Amino acid sequence: MPDRRTGDDLTAVVAKRVDRGRADLTEITELARAAGYEVTGSLTQTRDQDPAYHFGEGKADELAALVAREDADVVIIDNEVGPYQTFNIGSKLPEGAEVIDRFTLILDIFGQRAQTRKAQLQVELAELRYELPRAEVKASLAKRDERPGFMGLGEYDESRERDIKSQISRIKDELDAIAEKEEERRERRRESGFDLVALAGYTNAGKSTLLRRLADDLDVDENAEKHPDIDTTAESQNQLFTTLGTTTRRANTGKRDVLLTDTVGFISDLPHWLVESFKSTLDSVYHADLVLLVVDASESVEEMREKLVTSHDTLYERNEAPIVTVFNKVDRLSDDDLRRKREALSALAPNPVCVSGLTGDRIETLRGRVEAELPDWKRERLLLPLSDDAMSLVSWIHDNGYVDREEYDGRQVDVEFEAPPSVVERARSRAAEVEREAAGSVESA
């Protein structure tokens, strides 16, 4: 995808067509602002899609007049617009004005926010998948018409399709390698006694604020083994897509040590190719032990219902972990409003936890729910002959599980604890080694 002008001092007109009903420009306006545009005008139309202009031609003329009147740099169309339609609309606009569709805008935002190697690769993969069918259109037109730059789509390079497919293959291989390393890291963390909890939900639902509220002071970076000395706060702003990569922090819910991960927010009407491009980031949700599905409770019931349905479709496709729905931002509505919304959405969210990440209200209730919903731990009791190795093992159990009872009688230590099955198995194995060492010492004496 070619470089695109984004950032400060650029103005945009937003537009949307719907087959029926009334077009809502709220989300596309927020997306445009997140990309750095000042939105100065808007236009909507309700009608079937026109194959030449997407809108009707008369509405396309009206759009061009609006762009001229507002002296806008860009027209942002909240639909997927084909290459022919893009050219036809663009041909009506004042010179220098540009046409971009919803998905190009989203990729622009992702490109601006991508900081890690994984995020950058995912953005590049999405851009290439977006460009591939357009390259195929150019190929078809070039073969049929034999004129370079037919319909303003640009000069066709017959090797471009092959280059795109080759780059897609290379990026997928590199992302697969990153995914393997991250899976190994997840397993090591589980073996160390951590439960993995993922925050999921729509962008701007308040996930990053909730992460800061739940987390301990110690951070865990996505590229680090455990607890590096890095920035102590996850970014929390009233913007879309402030979190593109994953942010993982340690949280204590009581008995359990939890690693809490915030990822990129969901957004409506994303095509399959775009979701697939960010599969590597979503793996932290799909492979979690528990998912907290965060919903903005200050939105209308209709908006909440639509987002819950889409989130369930995304999560239940691959996720096997239990899902707890969290109604966030309850500080913005009355008790009666909250009760009404809970009743209206009971089929989709039968037992939500209602909290305010901003004020901290009912956060302790959420901590308790997290602990209750996590996979069961095993209980174990070990009798160990008193020795340095035994004390080392007891210390390790404290670090990786929850010790209910620890008693000494001068010759042995009696420890009763709860821990993940992998930790219990490793403790048993180490206990057997401690007993063998003690028996060998007795025989030597």
Contacts of 109 (CB under 8 A, 6+ apart): 31, 34, 35, 240, 241
Please, are residues 26 and 52 in contact by the beta-carbon 8 Å criterion? no
Instruction: Check whether 24 is labelled as a binding-site residue.
Output: no
Instruction: Check whether 204 is labelled as a binding-site residue.
Output: yes
Instruction: Check whether 329 is labelled as a binding-site residue.
Output: yes
- Cα separation, 332 vs 338, whole angstroms: 10
Please, are residues 382 and 398 in contact by the beta-carbon 8 Å criterion? no
Sign of CA dihedral 121, 123, 127, 130: positive
Instruction: Check whether 26 is labelled as a binding-site residue.
Output: no
Instruction: Check whether 88 is labelled as a binding-site residue.
Output: no
- Cα separation, 322 vs 303, whole angstroms: 23
Instruction: Check whether 357 is labelled as a binding-site residue.
Output: yes
Instruction: Check whether 262 is labelled as a binding-site residue.
Output: yes
Instruction: Check whether 41 is labelled as a binding-site residue.
Output: no
Instruction: Check whether 243 is labelled as a binding-site residue.
Output: yes
Any idea which residue has 């001229």 for tokens? 68
Query: Kindly report the CA angle at 100 between 75 and 167, in degrees rounded to 5?
Result: 165
Instruction: Check whether 265 is labelled as a binding-site residue.
Output: yes
- Please report the DSSP string for 310-353 in residue order: HHHHHHHHH--S-EEEEEE-GGGS-HHHHHHHHHHTTTT-SS-E
398: alpha, beta or left? (left if phi > 0; alpha if psi -120 to 50): alpha
Instruction: Check whether 358 is labelled as a binding-site residue.
Output: yes
Can you tell me whether residue 197 is helix, strand or coil? strand
Instruction: Check whether 248 is labelled as a binding-site residue.
Output: no
Instruction: Check whether 330 is labelled as a binding-site residue.
Output: yes
Instruction: Check whether 400 is labelled as a binding-site residue.
Output: no
- Cα separation, 218 vs 231, whole angstroms: 9
Binding residues for Mg(2+), as ranges, are: 208, 243
Binding residues, as ranges, are: 201-208, 243, 262-265, 328-331, 356-358
Binding residues for GTP, as ranges, are: 201-208, 262-265, 328-331, 356-358
